Amino acid sequence: MIYLDYNATTPLCDAAREAMLPYLGRHFGNPSSVHAAGREARAAVDDARDKLAALLHVKPHEIIFTSGGTESCNLAVFGLARSRSGRLPAVASEKAGHIISAKTEHHAVLNAVEHLERHEGFEVTWLNVSPDGIIDLDQLAAAIRPQTRLVSIMTANNETGVIQPLREISQICRERGVLLHSDMVQAFGKTAIDLSLVDAASFAAHKFYGPKGAGFLFLRGGLSIQPIMFGGAHENERRPGTENVAAIAAMPAAAEWTLRDREEEQRHEAKLRDELWTRISKSVPEAKQNGTNAPRLANTLNVSLLGLDSETLLIALDLEGVCASSGSACMVGSVVASHVLLAMGLPIERARSAVRFSLGKWTTADEIKATGDAVRKIVRRLQTRKSAYAVA
């Protein structure tokens, strides 16, 4: 099997697995318990918080453990918007505040913002993006108003790998006194991040070789946030529920392992990514690369193979032993074209024929060659079949 879907999830690294094992066995205590077993578990949670904070150059109390990227994004969007507004609207027609986000966000942000707009009286400005997926900074600056409670812009797109100009976005928000949240789920370990630029940022362990079902939200000290779940005083009353101790213990181990030789790994993955595109473009001249003129994650290649649909391509690739994706794994089963590519202004036919290849630490040159050969074989077969049907 050739695995080229690292943006969907990554394999668990040995360091993370080893960090988990004690808390899947002997050290099984509840970290809220006051006895020795509970204190052992609490120490593991506190140690993980300290290590992650040190890696990210923030303070331990600014780390809130969650179940993953979606919850972290939801907590940031709902929690900050509601906290800043101070109250929900008294009547349906009364506006609670104003939020700004981009049309290319992950659905963890899109759907949360849409809920606030439809059900809680918030006004929303959806920012446009260029044909390469970069937001319009002038539109952002012009959209901010006194009622603006929150701006939420992801650092790196999960489908195209396009990296937004976060420093410029941060400057615009800081000058106008508006909170900035960034979905950094795809960015961690793949590009340099600076949490001093944002007020909140979301992360998921399984995107950086950690376990699924664990993540965290960075929340700048001094900011209040309304919880979106209720039931206990965990995480300083910001996220109730018994902590997933084993997964939390694994996160700093995975993070440290992922960040090791990050720049060298980026160069390696970029070389392989470009080699894959060269092979595809030579054998399929009608192929189009999406987001190519923007800064991108080194590991991500989004390609439209015009005239073919992505579902058929992915099934054919799977039969050839290649794991790829049409975009967000969270949208599996959806028959609609990528909202990201449509927001970039691409024709619907191009959006529906897109395939995402995302590389990782274990991707090899031989796998890239084999994938290029598989794409060539599949496209020729499908085109021949399509021509035969047209004649018939």
Catalytic center residues: 330
The residues with which 241 forms a beta bridge, in sequence order, are: none
Q: Which residue has the tokens 């395939």?
A: 355
**H-helix or E-strand spanning residue 79:** helix 69-85
- Residues 382 and 386: their CA atoms lie apart, in Å, by 6
Sheet arrangement for strand 300-305: 287-289, 300-305, 354-358
To 5 degrees, how large is the angle CA 291–CA 323–CA 206?
80
List of residues 6+ apart from 200 with CB closer than 8 A: 76, 80, 179, 180, 181, 182, 217, 218, 219, 220, 223
Write the single-letter amino acid at 28.
F
Residue 27, judged by CB atoms within 10 A of its CB (0-12, 13-18, 19+), counts as middle
Q: What is the rounded end-to-end Cα distance, in angstroms, of the chain?
A: 36
